[in-house]
Amino acid sequence: MFFFFPLRDEFRVKRFPFVVLSIIIVNVLVFLLNAGNSDYQGLVMKYGFIPSNFSVRTLFTSMFLHGSIMHLAFNMWYLWLLGNNIEDRWNKLPFLLFYLSAGIFSMLLYSALVPGEAAGIPTIGASGAIAGVLGAYAVLFPKSRITFKYFVWLFIFFIRFGEFKLYAAVWLLLWFVQQAFSTFLVARGITISSVAFGAHFAGFLFGVVIGLGTKLYREARFRENVRLGENVLYNLLGSRNYVTRTMEEYGEIETAKSIIISNLERNRDLASRHYGDIIEKYPEIVLPEKAQYAVAETLYRSGEKEKAYIAFRNFILSFNFSKLADNALLAIGKILMEKEDYQKARYAFLQIVLFYPYSDTYEEAKYYLEKHLPEISFRNSMEGQDEKLNGPF
């Protein structure tokens, strides 16, 4: 026998998921308030969704009823595990509307897929809405690594347990294929099940479509904003350097780049130091996108701020559509603050706030703009006043 359960994902959230927690609390309260109800079956018939007896009210109420503590626990855990990231990405109200819409859509499509003999059976649970969350997560965070706990046993002769990791896209695709296959079997009357696989199938499809739509929209807005901010970017960083070199110099540059790239995986610190050394002679050197960002970040963390500035500058000017461009701008803003070039630092943070509104660095850049830099400006002005008061008349 084999059992596995998702424990955690690798994406942290910046904001507490109040909507996700509120949905969980409501579901738990509804379950606890009705757990001792002797006529729970009557409650299910009244508030569960019955395909043959369509009701707009039960489309909504059925999402908050669960048949058992395990049914409730699994649904709420999946919501907490994956829903918090989507709420963090979309904000509270859009996520709430998405969650409810996924639950309603899953019931509507389920009613079209369910065989006639099962159309009079009430369906309850948040599974359709949760499946929507899973579908959206698969699109928005496909490379998120999910940690699973597994337990394998074969009578008493073979028992193993431990953890393994799997990309979200792989896990959720396998899950969806299983749900789709089960939906087909039930719809064709080949098998009978008390699980509403059709609702899972429908909810997941809904989440995928909405996730793709928002992802494409964000990408279009991202590119539009970056183009709008190009002039401001060049005013901050200057234009990219195009330097004519001799054949010998080009050969030296290509050799250096090859050495840096080959050493990045084995020894990032060594590769970054080599990049820092070579840009003293050839400051225009740019590596491939991920390699360029890696050496810039490593130089910054190691305290080589001047060289890190050049590396980040080269990165942004060469890869301004990169998903890491906002992180590079944030690092440049911090470096400029440390150099006490507060005006340019302000421009760097303002670039993020104005032209990277969907960035994960948005809140931090906004903090520097609205609180940190004004505090520095106020402190400097006060120190200037003290110097005037204490100075000679």
Q: Residue 23 domain-assigned?
A: yes
Half-sphere exposure in the Cβ direction for 328 (13 Å, CA)? 27
Q: pLDDT at residue 383 above 60?
A: no
At 374, list the tokens: 């004004």
What CATH number corresponds to the domain at position 45? 1.20.1540.10
Mean pLDDT of the chain: 86
Q: Please list the residues that pair with 163 across neighbouring strands.
A: 149
The answer to whether residues 211 and 147 belong to one domain is: yes
Low-confidence winner among 48-52, 98-102, 117-121, 221-225 (lowest mean pLDDT)? 221-225
**Spatial distance between the Cα atoms of 268 and 297, rounded to a whole number of angstroms:** 10
CA-based angle 320:363:374, to the nearest 5? 100
CA-based angle 223:224:227, to the nearest 5? 85
The answer to whether residues 218 and 69 belong to one domain is: yes
The answer to whether residues 135 and 282 belong to one domain is: no
At 188, list the tokens: 């064709």
- pTM for the full model? 0.72
Q: pLDDT at residue 393 above 50?
A: no
Counting residues of the chain whose pLDDT is more than 70, the rounded percentage is: 92
**Spatial distance between the Cα atoms of 355 and 351, rounded to a whole number of angstroms:** 6
Region 334-339: mean pLDDT is: 90
Segments forming the whole domain that contains residue 216:
2-223
**Spatial distance between the Cα atoms of 55 and 48, rounded to a whole number of angstroms:** 10
| DSSP code of residue 145 | E
Other residues' Cβ atoms within 10 Å of the Cβ of residue 114: 22
| DSSP code of residue 150 | E
**Spatial distance between the Cα atoms of 273 and 267, rounded to a whole number of angstroms:** 10
Contact yes or no for 124/67 (Cβ under 8 A): yes
Highest mean pLDDT among 88-102, 184-198, 214-228, 320-334: 88-102
Q: Residue 391 domain-assigned?
A: no
Low-confidence winner among 16-30, 273-287, 345-359, 370-384 (lowest mean pLDDT)? 370-384
The answer to whether residues 209 and 155 belong to one domain is: yes
- CA-wise closest residue to 123 among 107, 146, 142, 104: 107
Backbone angles phi, psi at 15, to 5 degrees: -120, 145
The answer to whether residues 235 and 116 belong to one domain is: no
Q: pLDDT at residue 387 above 60?
A: no
Q: Residue 144 domain-assigned?
A: yes
Region 111-140: mean pLDDT is: 89
Strand order in the sheet with 158-167: 2-8, 145-154, 158-167
Q: Please list the residues that pair with 167 across neighbouring strands.
A: 145
Q: Residue 390 domain-assigned?
A: no
CA 289 distance to own-chain centroid: 21
Contact yes or no for 122/49 (Cβ under 8 A): yes
The answer to whether residues 310 and 281 belong to one domain is: yes
More confident residue, 286 or 393: 286
Backbone angles phi, psi at 146, to 5 degrees: -95, 130
At 13, list the tokens: 């959230």
More confident residue, 231 or 313: 313
Contact yes or no for 147/6 (Cβ under 8 A): yes
Highest mean pLDDT among 25-29, 110-114, 195-199, 265-269: 25-29
The per-residue pLDDT for 237 is: 80
**Spatial distance between the Cα atoms of 128 and 55, rounded to a whole number of angstroms:** 17
Q: Residue 61 domain-assigned?
A: yes
The answer to whether residues 155 and 30 belong to one domain is: yes
CA 134 distance to own-chain centroid: 13
At 120, list the tokens: 């009079």
The per-residue pLDDT for 322 is: 84
The answer to whether residues 122 and 143 belong to one domain is: yes
Contact yes or no for 351/227 (Cβ under 8 A): no
The per-residue pLDDT for 2 is: 60
Region 93-110: mean pLDDT is: 94
Give me Rg for the CA atoms of the chain. 28
Contact yes or no for 356/320 (Cβ under 8 A): no
How does pLDDT run across 40-79, given as a tens digit for each residue? Answer: 888 888 999 988 888 889 999 999 999 889 999 999 999 9
Q: pLDDT at residue 157 above 80?
A: no
The per-residue pLDDT for 292 is: 93
Region 6-34: mean pLDDT is: 90
Q: Residue 393 domain-assigned?
A: no
The per-residue pLDDT for 389 is: 42
Q: pLDDT at residue 382 above 60?
A: no
